[in-house]
Chains A and B, each alone.
Chain A
Amino acid sequence: ELKVEQNPLFLSMQEGKNYTIYCNYSTTSDRLYWYRQDPGKSLESLFVLLSNGAVKQEGRLMASLDTKARLSTLHITAAVHDLSATYFCAVSKVGGSEKLVFGKGTKLTVNP
């Protein structure tokens, strides 16, 4: 059974600081996704990582994937208040019609 674990679940950081969110998964996967969710809102797709060593960056967020370690990271550089949100990673099962298994999410609060 595919399981996805994120840590930390809660993260409070100051503006300007760097931090990393970790996403571990238990079995071989086709793809790994990162989403952002603001309170009361839907999920916004941030990154889709397709292969080992994949790295994608957008603004202050950078995601990477190590399929051998079954680990993805979401690195936040010089955090700003606007990045406050809940971040989810999700993994699709191999050959599984893109059924996603989600982590529990990391609630990020960036304080001025």
Chain B
Amino acid sequence: NAGVTQTPKFQVLKTGQSMTLQCAQDMNHNSMYWYRQDPGMGLRLIYYSASEGTTDKGEVPNGYNVSRLNKREFSLRLESAAPSQTSVYFCASILFHTLGGRYNEQFFGPGTRLTVL
């Protein structure tokens, strides 16, 4: 099991460029999430997908779009990147039943470090 994978690991964009961050999980989880992490801010939810075919906004959705391509994959798109979107982006998925004592545990990917110039 690879768990939650994200590509790319690093990316530098110019203002106005677009890109898609990819996330995939091989744990058969139903729900997936995109967070951003900024210094001193903790993590903030951008979008989430409770199940395949559904998506909903989180705390900071402006400037982003998402696609839940299938149960495994959840992508985050920046249509016109801005310097304020410089951040580390984490994808997560959740297991909604007890497994070895864990319950509703969110598994996080390794992150994508994005810089917008």
Contacts and interface: CB of A to CB of B under 8 A. Distances in A.
A78 to B, nearest CB: 25
A100 B41 contact: no
B41 A104 contact: yes
Interface stretch (A14-22, A40-48, A59-67, A68-76): A40-48
Describe A's contact surface by its main secondary structure.
strand
Q: Is the interface of B mostly helix, strand, loop or mixed?
A: strand
B103 A50 contact: yes
Contacts of A43: 43, 90, 108
A99 B41 contact: no
For this complex, into which size category does the number of interface residues on chain A fall? 20 to 34
Given A97-B48, A97-B50, A99-B58, A45 B105 contact: yes
Interface of A: 4, 9, 31, 33, 41-43, 45, 48, 50, 88, 90, 92, 97-105
A33 B105 CA distance: 8
A37 to B, nearest CB: 9
B31 A97 contact: yes
Nearest to A43: B108
Contacts of B108: 42-43
Given A41-B111, A42-B109, A98-B104, 4 more contacts: A31-B103, A45-B105, A88-B42, A100-B43
B93 to A, nearest CB: 10
